[in-house]
Structure 1
Amino acid sequence: MAAVKQRPGARKDVSGTSHLLDNKSTGSTTTATTAEKSYPHPVKKSSLASWTFFLLFLTLLATISYTRHYALPTPVTQDRDPVTGKLQFSEANVLKLTEHLAGDIGLRLIGTEAVDETERYLMREIETLREQAQIEAAKGAGGEVGVPNFDVWVQVDDGSHRFDFMSKVVMKMYNNMTNIIVRLSCGPECDQNAILLNAHYDTTLGSPGAADDALGVGVQMELIRILSQQPALKKNSIIFLFNGGEESLQDASHSFITKHELKDNVKAVINLEACGTTGPEILFQANSRPMIDAYKRVPYPHGTVVANDLFATGIILSDTDFRQFVDHGNLTGLDMAVYTNSYLYHSHLDLNEFMSPGLPQHMGENTLALVQYLGEEVDLSGKPFERTSEVVFFDVLGFFFVAYSLKTAILVHLAIGALALITLSMGASRPTIKSVLSVLLSFLAALAAPNLVALVLVQVLGKPMQWFTHEWLPLALFGPTSAAAMFGVQYLFHDNKASNSANELSTFSGIQFFFSVAMGSATYAGLASSYLVALYALCYSIALIYNRQWIQRGQHTPQQQHVNELHSVDFSTYLLASIIPTTYFVYTGFSLLDFMVPLAGRIGVDAPADHIVAVIAGLFTMCACPPLLAYVHRFGQSTLRRVISILILLQLAILWLSLTFSQPYDKMHPKRIFAQHLRNLTSGETLVYVAHADPGPIYHNYVQGLEQLFDTKALLKHGNENPGDWNAIYPFSQFLDSYVLDTTPYIRAQTTNTTIATSPTPLTDFIQDAPNLVAENVSFDPKTGIRKLTILCTHPDYILTVISFDAQLTRWSLSSGIPSQEPFHYVIRNAGGYRTDGWRLDLEYKAPNGAEDKLRVEITSMETEGFDWRVEKERELVGSGDVGVMRKLVKATPDFIALTYFSTVASVHDL
């Protein structure tokens, strides 16, 4: 064998490529051709068998991840353990409550009679539990400690707060907002320090709210049953807040944390929410180390700081009561929510029958463990828990929970970085500039290539949202292209002058180098989520050291050993490198898909939903098993070319199947459409607005059907040009483009009242008891140019009023400060409890045109009828008979559409 002469201090492989780091000479080497011909790698005898085994191994890891990700405990149906007789959490009790709220009562929109019925029902259940606790106390169930004191409050209050959401400033007012509060306490010594549990019993438009949030209400009620019949927790009291106004933009939680007598006793909060109906609940917000540590005690942990960091960016267009407790109570705590199968979130399908068995048990046992630990073990008498985002936390396949500080993470990451340097110094890692660049470009290609598929689907074929019906479908629709692109980069960077083994090892080393640098960058940026890339860097460093040691153990002939020491990656190294990162990333990646894919169906008509999902699919493809980038070099460039060709053919076959046989929506994965019957008292128009919440198809066909139904032509109106059209659901209205149908001719044609049919009088004149605005206490100061007035609103039998106006305010009666000292467009939403029929607002503003410079105010009010799909009731014009505009629109809606609909009246007043 001929020796290759090298200059001192530089290590080269057989192709002569310099490595990024080496501090010793190698001596003699062997040419690539001779090495490959004389000493073929044992595993390379059958590339098909090798690929098959590796892919089966990865499939096994993915199956384990999938199984663990969706694992739920066995539901419990009995109140007590039949063997020990101890009280236990019963899913059956929770489902009984959720079925009554969602199935019997149904939609519980704030201000309606259904909410009043819900409050009376909850009070009856609470009183029953209190009676049971008294019976157990008489039996001596609590032993020497005794069962806890059982106190109940009903809070009804007015208030206001600022609610910035979706980049909009929203001012909130509320009247007669109701909270039901239960406290379990060991006595006066426990009363001063409390853990707050929160769940809301109201629902949003169009949804019976079995999971969101009757589930949370049921879990709290079951916890009261258990905790009130056993010895009292000895350190801290537990407060259960059943709040009646979360969907109205968190009014009830604001009322409690700013006004209730117990607010100063609360030291931390656990919020129970839902934006899905299946799978485990996830810990997606946490803001203090003690509360995160408390979560270690739950039996079924599921949560990661990645979700915490993602939520903090504001990308997720959602929010919970947790915000009010943090902003106005300066509390720390845990925000837990059901999130899987979010297709049914805020839709008519949020019913008991679609909640997965074991979900209430999962949430219940986790919350019970938290409450018992915090109430029994944690000292809350000192200063409040310090709020921090510098905590790394994650669960390990649902088996246990890990949490440590960001400072500890930095030390760990420094150690991992040092380990990476050791692999370089000992020759176990042999990255080149070329291999590192190939990994970086492969990563970018994996993200970019799926966007080309999305571009073709949307712009060329006009087929957006083809991936929507299943959370995993984006991986099939975009994954092959993503994989082909990143392997294509490797094909271009494959060095034919070097051995396959040299390409293999340098690329594997480039992967390790890439993730080590990514770890350092993420750590430097202060991201707690950096633990994820640190996991990759650690495992690949360990794998490379193992690979080096394995080869040096003399598994091959001395000649083979020398060749392999420089260039080879043993097959078992890939298994070792993949087992932890692949299993964990796929486990975590399912959470990302579960949340983001359904969310794309409600992020607005202008959002590039296909491209967002394409990027997520590319990220998943790349990060599921990065060592594949090295593995594809194992059998040479010709095999690499065949792999790319197979992936391209697979992608074309999947696209053909999708375009030929699949539809983007079905009954259980519906398209979201909003419909509003607006009667404008000022213009006299009666209009139906129809809008959708994603850029997908079918919508226009649906509108064409409505045009035929109402015998009129629809007019397209863009949301950004007509911001007040959907004030009833502001600020979500900014995402909606509408088709508007004039229903006046239809109503005149359908009414049995000939006077209305033939009268030139605007139909809105036949509306009685419409909301009205009146100006009182009006005054003007000519010296300051300030005009003062009190706006009095009366809205009998209407709910959720919204006013908007443009003014340069100087003062008002709301508790929040004025958001701008300059002229500003104000939107103020008001929500009221049952039988609330009015409100008042004091304003002062600059009136440059003097005393007669009146304030022009537009008011939109929602009717108390016409938004419940189960009720054949709709408010008609007085004397018009049964026309049923919205009822007929609903009946014309196919079952693959989730329709949110309501009726409103609007008017403009110069006050």
Structure 2
Amino acid sequence: MRNRSEQKHVTFEPLTMEFEERSNEEYKGNIPSSSIHSISPLFVVFFVILLLGLFGLSLLLDSILPVPLKSADKEKYSEKFIAEEARNYLKGLTDFGPRVVGSYENELLAVQYLKKQINDIVINAHSNKKIKVDLQTVSGSYYLDYAPYGIVNAYGNVQNLIVKLSSINNNKNKSILINAHFDSVPTSPGGSDDGINCATMLEVLRVLSRSADDFEHDIIFLFNGAEESFLQASHGFITQHNWAGNCKVVINLEAAGAGGKIILFQTGPGQPWLVHKFSKVPHPAGQVTGEEIFQNNLIPSDTDFRVFRDFGGVVGYDMAFVRSGYRYHTKYDGFDNIPLGSFQHVGDNVLSLIKNLVNTTEIDNLESQDQTKVVYYDFFGLFMIVYTINVATLLNYSTALLCVIVAFRCFFTLGLRLNKEDLLYILITKMGIIVGWLLAIGFTVILGILLDYLGYTMSWYRNPWIILGLYVVPIWGLCCGVIIIANKYSFKENNSIAAHTQVQLSCVRLIWCVPLVIGTFFNIRASHIIQIPLVFNSLVFAVIHFSKLQYSVRTWQFLHLISTLIPVCYLMYTSVILMTFVIPITGRFGSNKNPELFVGFATLILSVLISSLFVPLITLVRSPLKVFYGFLITFLAFFGLVFTPLGFPYSGDFSSPAPQRFWIQHTGRAFYNINGTVYKQDAGYFIVNLDRNSPRSVENFVEDVKKAQSVNTLSDSELFYGMPILHPRAIEK
């Protein structure tokens, strides 16, 4: 063994000294079975427990809500949002039950209730404030370019209750608009959609109206009475009300779930200063990934924000509750299931955001403001990171360049050169990783199609934890299995397992550089999800290789694991938010799509991204096949669960509902010819299948469903087959 200082160039000897007395046969085509660099399979068990702990931490961080203030705190915290006061407002509103547009409950009771609460607030307002209240009754029509066919919507006599809060000395004609709707869908009391946000607006109005501070801009509170009928009331306000022309920034409050945190999922267009203002709120929560998903029409919903933006030219924020999306638009969206902390979360953020905006100078000259898009994401709800897409481009390309430099440094220090043998070694190593990913894709497709064919799709709908064993575990197992096999052919003679593992990790980073560069080139702002783990791991490996720590036994392994903790926690946190939103949506995005593929591919992308910097460590494990068999047994156990009651997708439990949705209309049809004469009449039930299991899941319980006739079998001589299509998206379902 030579002293390192005497070496003229870097070789493998420092990494392979433990093998020097072994026969050459041990190196040819095989990884040494024992090494001071190797680790016990028990370490894998410990590591899996660690990952589960990090996942639990991510769930915990996502569920933490601020401590709510009670009504008894009003005098002590006169400038603060009081959660209990807001909850009392919501109780009064939801007591009326469902508030469908045109109903007595919506058009009279709800309006009277809101007017009374507003009048009480006006009476107690500070002397330096003036408050105007207007009840708008409006009619109109408009076209929305929905996929796939668009929609023309005409409305008559819908109502808006509008409050304008101003400082007496304010002479500017610029306003901040805050919007929520008090109507609900049939059968739903609308506790979260959108009652909690109406209650929040009332409490924010109460606090601001009593403030002694002067406001440079007016604040308009729009309680709109017709959102569920395709955004009608917001259109009536922004196109016809006298105050609409002064509205420059909108804060739209919505819900696609119940409870939890309110999340910013759309902002702009342009105006990066808006996100910077939002980043200063007490509990920032928002992901640009959600914005890109929403704006690419991957979510079957829309909000009033679109109307304000498209018909009023207004910029601003679109925020929504997304936790427990199973309750959305159902009887389960009530008052009792919303924790008091959710009121405090939305109230603190909205109140703070308005205070950040009400005296800002950017509103005075929006046209001259920067129109660049921004990348934004909250870091475990503690703070928000914001930077423009130009900065993102620089960061992403710099990260890719860093990955390449560190990888070549790694290859060089481990003795690899630009010769045919070494290039082939690197190529086979990369292919082993890529083939594992390709097999994971193939597995996801096959499993999704198989479960759909067997009639056991959506087994994870009620119990999302099933996804871990059904998709995550086999995806990781396949990636590990391919590396185990590839090691038989790509392991370099006289190479240590530590050196080989470091080469594999460098190859992983180089592979991820490709989608990072492509995403950056096409201005995909969600590319930061790839950039974060790459930059952390590349920086640590730069330290490892420039400090020659790659020759250590455990130090480089420890540093590598440490470098992945923060990125993995962040990716898990993002995964929790994304899957919490995505899984309930599969219950309402139609029967023509396979939800297994939708959820499977979302899981695949996140699982591969999280695991790719760990999977090569399988090379260090003694008896790696034991790990693979552990993954296989776990998958088979979860696959078996699919066929048990635990795999039944739905639940009617009020405390934790996961209902199957049915859109059923009792329909009477009359067909007229060109002369206005009725030539055919009939009646029946029109059922729109909202998920993959509809109507098969109820055929054995509702005999008439078996007699149902598919719309596709009807004559296409009538528009939409003569069916009462209320929304163009129903055509696809």
TM bucket (normalised to shorter chain) is 0.7 to 0.9
Once residues 416 and 61 of structure 1 are traced to their aligned partners in structure 2, the CA distance between those partners, rounded to angstroms, is: 25
SS in 1 for 2:410: coil
Q: How does 1:311-326 map to 2 (within 5 A)?
A: 311-326=294-309
Give 5+ residue unaligned stretches, structure 2.
23-31, 415-424, 672-679
SS in 1 for 2:365: coil
Q: Contact between 2:18 and 2:35, CA under 8 Å: does it hold in 1?
A: no
Once residues 690 and 471 of structure 1 are traced to their aligned partners in structure 2, the CA distance between those partners, rounded to angstroms, is: 28
Q: How does 1:503-518 map to 2 (within 5 A)?
A: 503-518=500-515
Could you tell me which residue of structure 2 aligns to residue 890 of structure 1?
Answer: none
SS in 2 for 1:613: helix
Write the letter of the residue equivalent to 1:679: G
Shift of residue 353, structure 1, vs aligned partner:
1.8
Once residues 55 and 31 of structure 1 are traced to their aligned partners in structure 2, the CA distance between those partners, rounded to angstroms, is: 27
Could you tell me which residue of structure 2 aligns to residue 65 of structure 1?
Answer: 58
What are the superposed Cα offsets for residues 546-585 of structure 1, whole Å, 9 maximum, x if unpaired?
3335654xxxxxxxx8xx37x9983203322311110100
Shift of residue 307, structure 1, vs aligned partner:
0.9
Shift of residue 365, structure 1, vs aligned partner:
0.5
Q: Contact between 1:195 and 1:268, CA under 8 Å: does it hold in 2?
A: yes
Write the letter of the residue equivalent to 1:507: Q
Could you tell me which residue of structure 2 aligns to residue 582 of structure 1?
Answer: 568
Q: Compared with structure 1, are the counterparts of its residues 425 and 58 closer, same or farther at alpha carbon in structure 2 (3 Å cutoff)?
A: same
1:540 correspondence with 2:529: no
Q: Contact between 2:362 and 2:369, CA under 8 Å: does it hold in 1?
A: no
Q: Contact between 1:447 and 1:619, CA under 8 Å: does it hold in 2?
A: no
Q: Contact between 1:502 and 1:568, CA under 8 Å: does it hold in 2?
A: no
Could you tell me which residue of structure 2 aligns to residue 661 of structure 1?
Answer: 645
2:475 to 475, 478, 482: 482
Once residues 240 and 37 of structure 1 are traced to their aligned partners in structure 2, the CA distance between those partners, rounded to angstroms, is: 81
Q: Contact between 1:203 and 1:213, CA under 8 Å: does it hold in 2?
A: yes
Write the letter of the residue equivalent to 2:289: V
Could you tell me which residue of structure 1 aligns to residue 26 of structure 2?
Answer: none
2:633 to 612, 628, 649: 649
Once residues 394 and 169 of structure 1 are traced to their aligned partners in structure 2, the CA distance between those partners, rounded to angstroms, is: 32
Q: Contact between 1:201 and 1:244, CA under 8 Å: does it hold in 2?
A: yes
1:333 correspondence with 2:316: yes
Q: Compared with structure 1, are the counterparts of its residues 43 and 32 closer, same or farther at alpha carbon in structure 2 (3 Å cutoff)?
A: closer
Could you tell me which residue of structure 2 aligns to residue 776 of structure 1?
Answer: none
Once residues 325 and 134 of structure 2 are traced to their aligned partners in structure 1, the CA distance between those partners, rounded to angstroms, is: 34
SS in 2 for 1:511: helix
Q: Contact between 2:130 and 2:167, CA under 8 Å: does it hold in 1?
A: yes
Could you tell me which residue of structure 2 aligns to residue 420 of structure 1?
Answer: 403
1:627 correspondence with 2:613: yes
Q: Contact between 1:200 and 1:245, CA under 8 Å: does it hold in 2?
A: yes
SS in 2 for 1:510: helix
Shift of residue 220, structure 1, vs aligned partner:
0.5
2:341 to 334, 339, 358: 358
Could you tell me which residue of structure 2 aligns to residue 870 of structure 1?
Answer: none
Once residues 235 and 536 of structure 1 are traced to their aligned partners in structure 2, the CA distance between those partners, rounded to angstroms, is: 43
Shift of residue 681, structure 1, vs aligned partner:
4.2
Per the normalisation by structure 1, the TM-score is: 0.71
Once residues 530 and 596 of structure 2 are traced to their aligned partners in structure 1, the CA distance between those partners, rounded to angstroms, is: 26
Could you tell me which residue of structure 2 aligns to residue 130 of structure 1?
Answer: 122
Write the letter of the residue equivalent to 1:650: T
Could you tell me which residue of structure 1 aligns to residue 437 of structure 2?
Answer: 443
Q: Compared with structure 1, are the counterparts of its residues 352 and 719 closer, same or farther at alpha carbon in structure 2 (3 Å cutoff)?
A: farther
Q: Compared with structure 1, are the counterparts of its residues 670 and 36 closer, same or farther at alpha carbon in structure 2 (3 Å cutoff)?
A: farther
Query: Equivalent pairs: percent with the same residue?
Result: 25
Once residues 195 and 523 of structure 2 are traced to their aligned partners in structure 1, the CA distance between those partners, rounded to angstroms, is: 38
Shift of residue 387, structure 1, vs aligned partner:
7.7
Write the letter of the residue equivalent to 1:465: M
1:696 to 693, 699, 704: 693
Once residues 48 and 630 of structure 2 are traced to their aligned partners in structure 1, the CA distance between those partners, rounded to angstroms, is: 15
Once residues 708 and 395 of structure 2 are traced to their aligned partners in structure 1, the CA distance between those partners, rounded to angstroms, is: 62
Q: Compared with structure 1, are the counterparts of its residues 680 and 234 closer, same or farther at alpha carbon in structure 2 (3 Å cutoff)?
A: closer
Once residues 454 and 69 of structure 1 are traced to their aligned partners in structure 2, the CA distance between those partners, rounded to angstroms, is: 29
What are the superposed Cα offsets for residues 74-99 of structure 1, whole Å, 9 maximum, x if unpaired?
222226456x4523212222222222
Q: Contact between 1:190 and 1:237, CA under 8 Å: does it hold in 2?
A: no
Q: Compared with structure 1, are the counterparts of its residues 247 and 720 closer, same or farther at alpha carbon in structure 2 (3 Å cutoff)?
A: farther
SS in 1 for 2:575: helix
Per the normalisation by structure 2, the TM-score is: 0.88
Q: Contact between 1:191 and 1:265, CA under 8 Å: does it hold in 2?
A: no
SS in 1 for 2:701: helix
1:187 to 165, 168, 172: 168
Write the letter of the residue equivalent to 1:357: L
Shift of residue 386, structure 1, vs aligned partner:
4.9
Q: Contact between 2:452 and 2:594, CA under 8 Å: does it hold in 1?
A: no
Q: Contact between 1:719 and 1:733, CA under 8 Å: does it hold in 2?
A: no
Shift of residue 467, structure 1, vs aligned partner:
1.2
Q: Compared with structure 1, are the counterparts of its residues 386 and 329 closer, same or farther at alpha carbon in structure 2 (3 Å cutoff)?
A: farther
SS in 2 for 1:381: helix
SS in 1 for 2:586: helix
Shift of residue 501, structure 1, vs aligned partner:
2.1
What are the superposed Cα offsets for residues 572-607 of structure 1, whole Å, 9 maximum, x if unpaired?
033223111101000011111011111011111111
Once residues 584 and 224 of structure 1 are traced to their aligned partners in structure 2, the CA distance between those partners, rounded to angstroms, is: 36
In our comparison, the structure showing a higher alpha carbon Rg is 1
Q: Contact between 2:41 and 2:624, CA under 8 Å: does it hold in 1?
A: no
Once residues 568 and 422 of structure 1 are traced to their aligned partners in structure 2, the CA distance between those partners, rounded to angstroms, is: 24
Shift of residue 372, structure 1, vs aligned partner:
0.7
What are the superposed Cα offsets for residues 774-814 of structure 1, whole Å, 9 maximum, x if unpaired?
xxxxxxxxxxxxxxxxxxxxxxxxxxxxxxxxxxxxxxxxx
Q: How does 1:252-271 map to 2 (within 5 A)?
A: 252-271=233-252
Could you tell me which residue of structure 1 aligns to residue 669 of structure 2?
Answer: 680
Which of structure 1's runs of 4+ aligned residues deviate more than 6 A? 36-40, 428-431, 719-722
Write the letter of the residue equivalent to 1:661: P
Bigger proportion of residues as strand? 1
Once residues 80 and 718 of structure 1 are traced to their aligned partners in structure 2, the CA distance between those partners, rounded to angstroms, is: 61
SS in 2 for 1:604: coil
Once residues 721 and 573 of structure 1 are traced to their aligned partners in structure 2, the CA distance between those partners, rounded to angstroms, is: 68
SS in 2 for 1:446: helix
Q: Contact between 2:410 and 2:503, CA under 8 Å: does it hold in 1?
A: no
What are the superposed Cα offsets for residues 502-528 of structure 1, whole Å, 9 maximum, x if unpaired?
331111111221223332221111112
Could you tell me which residue of structure 1 aligns to residue 180 of structure 2?
Answer: 199
Once residues 312 and 397 of structure 1 are traced to their aligned partners in structure 2, the CA distance between those partners, rounded to angstroms, is: 24
Q: Contact between 2:41 and 2:627, CA under 8 Å: does it hold in 1?
A: no
SS in 2 for 1:729: coil
Q: Contact between 1:200 and 1:213, CA under 8 Å: does it hold in 2?
A: yes
Once residues 50 and 618 of structure 1 are traced to their aligned partners in structure 2, the CA distance between those partners, rounded to angstroms, is: 24
Shift of residue 690, structure 1, vs aligned partner:
3.4
Q: Compared with structure 1, are the counterparts of its residues 415 and 169 closer, same or farther at alpha carbon in structure 2 (3 Å cutoff)?
A: closer
Could you tell me which residue of structure 2 aligns to residue 349 of structure 1?
Answer: 332
Write the letter of the residue equivalent to 1:157: V
Could you tell me which residue of structure 1 aligns to residue 189 of structure 2?
Answer: 208
Could you tell me which residue of structure 1 aligns to residue 674 of structure 2?
Answer: none
Computed over aligned residues only, the root mean square deviation of the Cα atoms, in angstroms, reads 2.8
Bigger proportion of residues as helix? 2
1:502 to 491, 499, 504: 499
Q: Compared with structure 1, are the counterparts of its residues 176 and 239 closer, same or farther at alpha carbon in structure 2 (3 Å cutoff)?
A: same
Q: How does 1:785-800 map to 2 (within 5 A)?
A: none
Could you tell me which residue of structure 2 aligns to residue 397 of structure 1?
Answer: 380
Once residues 707 and 356 of structure 2 are traced to their aligned partners in structure 1, the CA distance between those partners, rounded to angstroms, is: 63
1:600 correspondence with 2:586: yes
Q: Contact between 2:662 and 2:689, CA under 8 Å: does it hold in 1?
A: yes
Give 5+ residue unaligned stretches, structure 1.
4-23, 138-145, 553-560, 737-911
Could you tell me which residue of structure 2 aligns to residue 707 of structure 1?
Answer: 703
Shift of residue 320, structure 1, vs aligned partner:
0.4
Could you tell me which residue of structure 2 aligns to residue 153 of structure 1?
Answer: 134
Shift of residue 634, structure 1, vs aligned partner:
0.8
Write the letter of the residue equivalent to 1:520: V
Could you tell me which residue of structure 1 aligns to residue 106 of structure 2?
Answer: 115
Q: Which has the higher contact order (CA 8 A, sep 6+)?
A: 2
Once residues 35 and 602 of structure 1 are traced to their aligned partners in structure 2, the CA distance between those partners, rounded to angstroms, is: 60
1:373 correspondence with 2:353: no
1:670 correspondence with 2:659: yes
1:100 correspondence with 2:84: no
